[in-house]
Amino acid sequence: MKNSRTTRAAFLAAGAGGAMLAASARASAAATLDLHELESILRKSARHKTLIAATKVDYGIPLHHAANVLNAFEDTYHEGRGAIRVACVFYGTSLVAALSDAMWGKFHLFDVLAQAQDGLPMMLHTPQNPFLRANPAAGREDASIETLLRRGVAVIVCNNALTTLAKAIAQNQQADAARIHDELAQNLVPGAVLVPAGVAAIVLAQEAGYTYLGA
């Protein structure tokens, strides 16, 4: 694979202020930037609301934070489901956790993460998303995307960061970045919400009463 000059700094810059993908018929069809869904998420009431914002996938630590928050209130404080809402904003390389197995295999995302200094050398490199599938053996400690979505966690993905990821892949494969962006956007896990800018979603969530928990 051709070496990429894309670094983690580039992903962070995209999340912080990278230009949005230009509006086009193809891009609009591929990815609905769902501000209405974001507003719906943020309007939902709960006694406790926690926002977990992550730029790096970091072996799934942001996902474990989400599971730990749910478990703390449900198991320790004996508050039922609905008393706690958790939203995860992925606005850097962390967004790969919300991509399908097909995208991990097709675009060699383990390699892309390594190039962006968010590598996973201690994990078995397979064509599948290692953060996606539920692990029943883990019980309440299961921090997979599938389980967290089932437990009501909102998964919010930054389009700026998705655009930068597409550019990194396109450079590696000498392919069209816009086409790759469209394919990635079409292959977010069911239930994930794509928004124009993750940093804006973080601000809006805090304005809606979410307590920020960095990851």
Instruction: Report yes or no on 93 lying in a domain.
Output: yes
Task: Please state the pTM of the whole predicted model.
Answer: 0.84
- State the average pLDDT over residues 47-58: 97
Residue 186 lies in a domain: yes
Looking at the domain assignment, is residue 174 inside a domain? yes
Task: Please give the mean pLDDT across all residues of the chain.
Answer: 88
Which residue reads 């990278």 in tokens? 18
Residues in the chain, total: 215
Residue 30 has pLDDT above 60, yes or no: no
Residue 80: predicted pLDDT:
83
Which residue's structure tokens are 């943020």? 42
Confidence of residue 55 (pLDDT cuts 50, 70, 90): very high
The closest alpha carbon to 211, from 29, 27, 52, 69, belongs to: 52
The residues, any chain, with a CB within 8 Å of residue 207's CB and separated by 6 or more, are none
Residue 121 lies in a domain: yes
- What is the model's pLDDT at position 12? 40
Is residue 27 very low, low, confident or very high in pLDDT (cuts 50, 70, 90)? very low
Name the maximum alpha-carbon separation found in the chain.
53
Has residue 35 got a pLDDT over 60?
A: yes
Chain segment 98-119, per-residue pLDDT in tens:
999 999 999 999 999 999 999 9
Beta strand 84-90 with 48-54: parallel, antiparallel or unpaired?
parallel
Regarding predicted confidence, which is higher, 113 or 13? 113
pLDDT of residue 28: 35
Total domains present in the chain: 1
23 pLDDT more than 70: no
Structure tokens at 114: 């390594």
Residue 17 has pLDDT above 90, yes or no: no
In a domain, 69, yes or no: yes
**Is 2 inside a domain boundary?**
no
Task: Please answer whether residues 204 and 154 qualify as being in contact, where contact means their C-beta atoms are separated by less than 8 angstroms.
Answer: no
Query: The CATH number of the domain where 55 resides is what?
Result: 3.40.1260.10
Q: Above pLDDT 70, what percent of the chain? A: 85
* Range(s) of the domain holding residue 97: 8-15+25-214
As a whole number of angstroms, the distance between CA 186 and CA 102 comes to 11
Q: Is the pLDDT of residue 2 over 90?
A: no
**Residue 20, in any domain of the structure:** no
Is 193 a member of any domain?
yes
* 132-136 mean pLDDT: 97
Burial 93-103 (b: 16+ CB within 10 A, else e): bbbbbbbbbeb
202 and 51 Cβ atoms separated by less than 8 Å: yes
Residue 157 has pLDDT above 90, yes or no: yes
CA-angle at 213, arms to 211 and 215, nearest 5°: 160
- Residue showing tokens 């974001």: 38
